[in-house]
Structure 1
Amino acid sequence: MTSSQPAGAEPTRSTRRTFLTASAATATAAAAAAVPLIGAPAAAAPGAHRIDGPGKPAKPQHPDNELKRLLAEVDKARIEAIVRRLAAFGTRHTLSSQTDPERGIGAARDWIYQEMLGYAAASGGRMTVELQSYLQGRASRIPVPTQITNVIATLRGDTDPNRVYVITGHYDSRASNVDDAVSDAPGADDDASGVAVIMELARVLATRPTKATIIFAAVAGEEQGLYGSTHMAKQLKAAGVDVQGMFSNDIVGSSTADDGARDNRTVRLFAEGVPTSETPQQATTRLSTGGENDGASRQLARFVTDVNAHSVTGMQVRVIYRRDRYLRGSDHIPFLQEGWPAGRFTEPNEDFAHQHQNVRVVDGKQYGDLPEFCDFDYITRAARVNGAAMWSLAQAPGTPKNATMVTSGLTNDTTLRWQRGTEEDLAGYEVLWRETTEPDWTHVIEVGDVTTATVDLSKDNVFFGVRAVNRDGYRSPVAFPR
C-alpha cells in the first residue's frame, strides 16, 4: 500500500431525497464509481444531523509551511554522525559493560542521554529527559539480573498534554550469537539508524510548540526480548497515559538487500489488523462485521499515508497488513499488547549478510552491521516520514472516542455517534466511507460540530469512519465505529 487513493469515477445514480443544496446535487450527478443503492426513506435518529449525498472524494492532507520547514531541518550529516558514534562503542549488547566509559551499552546510554539533554535545553522547558531504569531478573536471554535503561525525552504538549504519541528506536545491538556480549556488534542499521531518526526528530521538534505530547525513546533490551519497551509500555499504562499512537523505527538504515535489490524511496510500515488486545468475543464480532481491516493500528497507518507528502519526504510508505515480519518482532508489540495503536517502520529490503553478523573480513572485504553499509540519504527520508506523522498527530485533534454505529433497527440510512473532544480549537467532524473492497477511505462528508450524524448510505454496503478537524485544518486519525 502507498498513499491514499483518490476516489474513482461513479455512474450517475438516482436518489430518494433532495440533496441539501443544488451544488451538492450537481456534484452527485457528476460523481462516478459504484455507490450502493438506497432503499426506502427513514427518519433520522433523534438529535442526529441529517446529511444527504455521498460527500466529496477524500484527498490527502497537504503539508503546511511549518511542516515543510521542520522537515527541511532534518539534517543528514547529523544523522550520519549519530549512527557512526553509536557504532563506535564497539558493542551495545544489553549484557555488555554498563560502566566502561568507552565501550558497551552503558557508554552508549550516557552519550544518548547527554545529547538529548542538549536538545531539551533549546525547548524553553517543554522537553524533559530521563533515564528510565529497572532491574530485569533472570529470563529468556537474560542469564543474570541485568539493569535495563531507556533514555526518554518528553516534549510536553501546550494545550492537550495528556494525549501522547510515542516514537522509539532501540539502542542495544547484538552479534551473531544473541548471548555474545563481548564481540564487536556495531549495530549501525539494527538499530542505530532508528535511534538516529528519533534523536534527530527530538532535536528538530524541541524548539516547536506542539498541542499534544510526543515521547522520543531510545529503548534497550530489544534484541534480548523487547524488555525495555515492555517496561516502558507497562509504566505508561499504569500511569493512565492516553497513548493514541506509537511507532517503532527498527532497521531503517539501508535500501539495498543482500541480493543487490534496491529501493531507496520506499519504507515499510507494518500494521496489524484485529487488535492484539481484543478479547476473542470482540475479535469475533469485528470479523463478523467485516472490520478486520479497520483496527486502530490500520487507521494509524492510513493516517501516515494521508499526511506523507512525497514532495517533502521523498518517500513512499508501503503499508504491510501484518503485525511484523515472519520470525521477527519489534518494540511496537508491547504497545499493541497494552491496547494502543502502533506500527513498525523498517526498510524495504533487508541485508541479512550484514545484520546480526560478527564483524569479519572475507576476501579482503569487511562484513558486519557497519555504518559503511548504511544509506544516510535513505535514513534522512525515513526520518522525514516519521516527522510528518508525529507533527501532524501532535497538531491535530485526538482520534474521536466511543464511535458507534446505531444498529437497533432496519434502515437504509446509517447513524453514527461519538464523543466530542475537548480540544480548544476543535472545528468539527467528518464522516468517511468507502466500499468494503477498498483499502483506503475514498469519500468524506463534513457534518460539523456535532456528535451524531445520519447519512444517506446503507451500513450494510459500505464501511464508515469518523475523524475530527481543527480550525487549522489538521485532521485526526479515523475512528472506526463499533
Structure 2
Amino acid sequence: MRPTRRTVLTATAAAGTAALASAGAAEAAPQGGRPPATAQHPSRELRELLREMDPARVEATVRRLVSFGTRHTLSVQDDPARGIGAARDWLLSELRSYAAVSGGRMTAELQSYIQEPASRIPVATKITNVVATLRGSVTPERVYVVSGHYDSRVTDVMDATSDAPGADDDASGVAVVLELARVMAKRRTAATIVFAAAAGEEQGLYGSTHLAEQLKAAGADVQGMFTNDIVGSSTADDGTKDPYTVRLFAEGVPTSETPEQAAIRRSVGGENDSATRQLARFVRDVADNDATGMHVRMIYRRDRYLRGGDHIPFLERAWPAARFTEPAEDFAHQHQDVRVEDGKQYGDLPRFCDFGYITRVARVNAAALWTLAQAPGTPTGAKILTSALTNSTQLVWTRGTEPDLAGYEIVWRETTAPEWTHVIPAGDVTAFEVDLSKDNVFFGVRAVNTKGLRSPVAFPLPQS
C-alpha cells in the first residue's frame, strides 16, 4: 500500500534526523554551520589516510618545482636542470617511485603529443602530461581525475626564458596531486583514480584537453574531475587571511548541453542541479568537517572572469568537473612570487605559499576522491515520471553493477534551498513513489553500499 503524505513527511523528518546523526552532526563544520542532511561522517580509514598528508613533502615539492627556474610550455625541454623538460622528468620519477610500492595497482607514464602552431603556440611544440593511474579493483571502468598544471609563466605569456617560478600558480596544485598519489598508491580503491600534472595550461588548456580526449577515446566513464589551480595561499592582496577556506567553482547549466537540453533543465528548475553541482555538494558532504579542518565554499560559476582552468575540457565532454582555488587571489604575486639565480631561490616563498594550507586542500581532495572511489557510482537513468497528473512523485533509475551495492536513498529539498534537507531510505529497488508533489520540491537519487558510503546525487529529469 502506498504511504500517505503524512507518513512520508514523518518518515522523512525521522530519516533526515538519522542521517544527520550518522553524518556526525554533533561535529560542527569549521565555520560553525550544521552539516547538510546528506553529510557523510569520515570513517576511521579515511581519517588515517588524511593524517598521512605531510606538509614537509608538500613544501619539498613546491620548492623543487620552483628550482627549475621556468616551466613555461615553450621553454627548453632537454636541459637536465632548467625548463619544463627538467620538471617533467622529475615529476615522472616521483610518480614512478610511488607506483613502485603500489603492488602493481599504479602505473606512471608520460602522455605526449605535438601541438601544431595555434593560439599562444608559435611553433610546433611537444606538450607532455605526467600521469599516474591507480587502477580500481572492483569497477575499474569508473574513473575519477585530479590534476594540477606544472607549466608556469610570467606576466608576458609568450616569455619562455625569464624566470617563472610559479610557486602558487601552479606548483601548489601539483604538490596536492603528488601527495594524493603518494598516499593512495599504498591503498586499494574500488574505482580508478587518475593523477595528472598537466602542461600547456597557461597557453590555452592544451595538456588537459589532450588528457580528456585520450580518456574519451578509451571509453572511460569519468564520473568526476577536480583541478587544483592556485591553491597555495590563504592571504589576500590586502593582507587578510582565510586559512581554513577553499573555493570550489562548479557550473550550473552544463557547458556541454545543447540549447534544447538547457531549455528542458530550465523548465523543471534544474539550473542548480547539474552533475557538477551535485559533485560539489558531495565534496561538501564528505570534506567540510573536522577531519580536513577546512570549509569548502561553493562558487556557483564555471570559473573566474577572463580566466579558465583544466576542468573546462572535461566539462566540454559532458563530464562533471570542478576547480579548487584559494579563497582570494593576490594578482601582484601570482606570476612573480620568487626568482631563481644560480640555482638559489630569492624572495619570500612562505609568504606566497602556506604549506599547511596546501596540505589541508590536499585533505579536502583526498576525502572527496577516496569516498568517490570507494562508494557506488552516481545512479544512471534517473527520471521523474510525468505521464500522470498527480500530487505524488514517481522516480525510476537504473540499478548499478557494484557487488557491494546495498540500495538507494531519495533526497529532497525546497526549491529555494541550496542543500538537500531530507533523506528517505528507498531500499534495493529501481522505482520509488513519494507522496510529495514534484511541483513543489526538488528530488534526487543516490546509491549506498554495504559500508554505508553514499554516491553523489543524480538529479532526475522528466520522462513522460
**Normalised TM-score (structure 1):** 0.88
User: 1:180 — aligned with what?
Assistant: 159
Q: Which of 247, 261, 266 lines up with 2:245 in the alignment?
A: 266
User: 2:133 — aligned with what?
Assistant: 154
Give the alignment's Cα RMSD to 1 decimal.
2.1
Deviations, residues 320-378 of structure 1 (Å, cap 9, x unaligned): 000001111000000000000000000001111111238579xxxx9979455210010
Q: Which runs of 5+ in 1 are unaligned?
A: 1-14, 32-56
1:347 equivalent in alignment to 2:326: yes
Identity %: 73
Partner amino acid for 2:227? S
Q: 1:19: how far off?
A: 3.1
User: 1:305 — aligned with what?
Assistant: 284
Q: Which of 369, 372, 387 lines up with 1:408 in the alignment?
A: 387
State the alpha-carbon separation in 1 of the partners of residues 311 and 364 from structure 2.
Answer: 17
Q: 1:60: how far off?
A: 1.2
Q: Which of 60, 73, 77 lines up with 1:94 in the alignment?
A: 73
User: 1:19 — aligned with what?
Assistant: 7
State the alpha-carbon separation in 2 of the partners of residues 355 and 368 from structure 1.
Answer: 13
> What aligned pairs does 1:199-278 form with structure 2 within 5 A after superposition?
199-278=178-257
User: 1:139 — aligned with what?
Assistant: 118
Q: Which of 172, 178, 182 lines up with 1:193 in the alignment?
A: 172
User: 1:314 — aligned with what?
Assistant: 293
Partner amino acid for 1:213? T
Tell me the SS of whatever aligns to 2:291.
helix
User: 1:70 — aligned with what?
Assistant: 49
User: 2:91 — aligned with what?
Assistant: 112
Q: Which runs of 5+ in 2 are unaligned?
A: 19-35
Partner amino acid for 1:303? F
Rg: which structure is higher?
Answer: 1
State the alpha-carbon separation in 1 of the partners of residues 94 and 327 from structure 2.
Answer: 29
Tell me the SS of whatever aligns to 1:445.
strand
> What aligned pairs does 1:363-374 form with structure 2 within 5 A after superposition?
370=349, 372-374=351-353
User: 1:390 — aligned with what?
Assistant: 369
Distance 1:375 1:27, change over 3 A: closer
Q: 1:58: how far off?
A: 2.1
Q: 1:59: how far off?
A: 4.2
> What aligned pairs does 1:369-380 form with structure 2 within 5 A after superposition?
370=349, 372-380=351-359
Q: 1:258: how far off?
A: 1.6
Contact 1:83 1:371 in 2 (8 A): no
Tell me the SS of whatever aligns to 1:272.
coil
Number of aligned residue pairs: 437
State the alpha-carbon separation in 2 of the partners of residues 25 and 431 from structure 1.
Answer: 10
Q: 1:310: how far off?
A: 2.1
State the alpha-carbon separation in 2 of the partners of residues 320 and 437 from structure 1.
Answer: 17
Range with greater deviation from structure 2 (457-466 or 303-312): 303-312
Partner amino acid for 1:473? G
Tell me the SS of whatever aligns to 1:112.
helix
Partner amino acid for 1:156? R
Partner amino acid for 1:220? A
**Normalised TM-score (structure 2):** 0.91
Deviations, residues 182-236 of structure 1 (Å, cap 9, x unaligned): 0000000000000000000000000000000000000000000000000110111
List structure 1 segments (4+ residues) > 6 angstroms apart after TM superposition: 366-369
Q: 1:27: how far off?
A: 4.8
Tell me the SS of whatever aligns to 1:312.
coil
State the alpha-carbon separation in 2 of the partners of residues 429 and 289 from structure 1.
Answer: 23
Contact 1:357 1:368 in 2 (8 A): no
Tell me the SS of whatever aligns to 1:292.
coil
State the alpha-carbon separation in 2 of the partners of residues 216 and 359 from structure 1.
Answer: 27
Contact 2:337 2:352 in 1 (8 A): no
State the alpha-carbon separation in 1 of the partners of residues 348 and 240 from structure 2.
Answer: 18
State the alpha-carbon separation in 1 of the partners of residues 49 and 62 from structure 2.
Answer: 21
Tell me the SS of whatever aligns to 2:90.
helix
Q: 1:308: how far off?
A: 1.1
State the alpha-carbon separation in 1 of the partners of residues 234 and 358 from structure 2.
Answer: 9
Contact 2:147 2:197 in 1 (8 A): yes
User: 1:446 — aligned with what?
Assistant: 425
Partner amino acid for 1:154? T
Distance 1:436 1:368, change over 3 A: farther
